[in-house]
Amino acid sequence: MTAVTEAAASAARAASGPRIAIVGATGAVGTTMIELITERGLPYRELHLVASSRSAGRILTVADREYAVRAIEEFDFSSVDVAFFSAGTSVSQKWVPVATEAGALVIDNTIAFRMDPDTPLVVPQVNAHVLDHRPKSGVVSNPNCSTIPLVRLLRGIEDRWGIRNAVVSTYQAASGLGYSGVEELQESSRATLQDAGAEYEPHHFPPGLAFNVIPKIDRFLDSGFTLEEEKMLQESRKILELPHLDVTTTCVRVPVANCHSESVYVECQSPVDRAELVEVLAALPEVEVHDRETPTAFPTPAVVDSSDLVHVGRIRSTQNNPRAFWLWLVADNLRIGAALNAVQIAEELIDRGTL
């Protein structure tokens, strides 16, 4: 295809693409979503950037074109076909019903509608088939940032061996709370390095994330688990369509700017051969197995930052149970855990003719 015909084809795709709004366009996930829409060539014939009134009027450049950010209070959702929401749960609870009532299909990145039976909870590599029809609620939910990479691996494992249970410990980065979370980590780290005895009043990560780990993400429930841990159980069951799946989790915040990591123990219904397990995982879409060739290789957040792959390493069979194994995964929580998954949902909706 020549440059001229390629440009013409691209223009044709854009002309037939949906009208898109990004709510929360100035936040960490919103700006990452804008980058990905451009990088992946998601077709759209109109793009609207929306945020709170305090961000209204800001100018953002997308594909060499300048866009003024619109205030959500003044935005007409009947002017778009699909609206990405990534501005926090309270914003989604208030404005998503407004958007769907106006006729927009919403792809929501908060907890607000994830467990609604009329709202599909989607990881395209796992359950894209649920996007064949427009949801009754008018909403497609994006799962939790730690659930997404986990279920992408569990799908292949369940299909081959069946899963009896999984035990997961997460090591979640400060960017899980957006730009302000990263800024607090940086500021508190600088303050501690300058004066180890100085008092720093944390806002997002009490008692302070600098040179520390905090075994609590989100609020505590009566069960003793946190909401983040409960999310991973309930969401995994819904996405994998395994209502009795046994997943138990400890979610930990760590002093890392970006990329979540997880230590995962899985016990299967039948014996698991490590070599076959490596090949099953490596065959999954957009997964890189680091110890496929070198058994001691493993990924870390610093190495895989800003990656669109789920990175896996430390795959090892347990010594006393042939049905069980451990693995370590790392994934960019802003991309795979949020923005990329949302964009891939939109791509599937377009490809399936649902949008």
Domain limits of the chain? 3-142+338-351, 147-173+213-332
The angle that helices 178-194 and 28-40 make with each other, rounded to 10 degrees, is: 120
Q: Check residue 183 and give its pLDDT.
A: 97
Annotation marks residue 251 as catalytic: no
Output the 3-class SS for 254-284: CCCCCCEEEEEEEEECCCCCHHHHHHHHHCC
Q: Check residue 312 and give its pLDDT.
A: 98
pLDDT reading at 217 higher than 70: yes
Annotation marks residue 145 as catalytic: yes
- CATH of 3-142+338-351, picked from 3.40.50.720, 2.30.40.10, 3.40.50.300, 2.40.50.100, is 3.40.50.720
Q: Check residue 14 and give its pLDDT.
A: 59
Is pTM beyond 0.85 here?
Answer: yes
Q: Which of 48, 251, 259, 260 is catalytic?
A: 260
pLDDT tens per residue across span 281-318 = 999 999 999 999 888 899 999 988 778 999 999 999 99
pLDDT tens per residue across span 111-145 = 999 999 999 999 999 999 999 999 999 999 999 99
Q: For residue 255, name the pLDDT band (cuts at 50, 70, 90).
A: very high
The CATH classification number of 147-173+213-332 equals 3.30.360.10
Alpha-carbon dihedral 190, 193, 199, 200, rounded to 10 degrees: 20
pLDDT tens per residue across span 28-86 = 999 999 999 999 999 999 999 999 999 999 999 999 999 999 999 999 999 999 999 99
Helix intervals (H) in 162-217: 178-194
Distance CA 316, CA 151 (A): 19
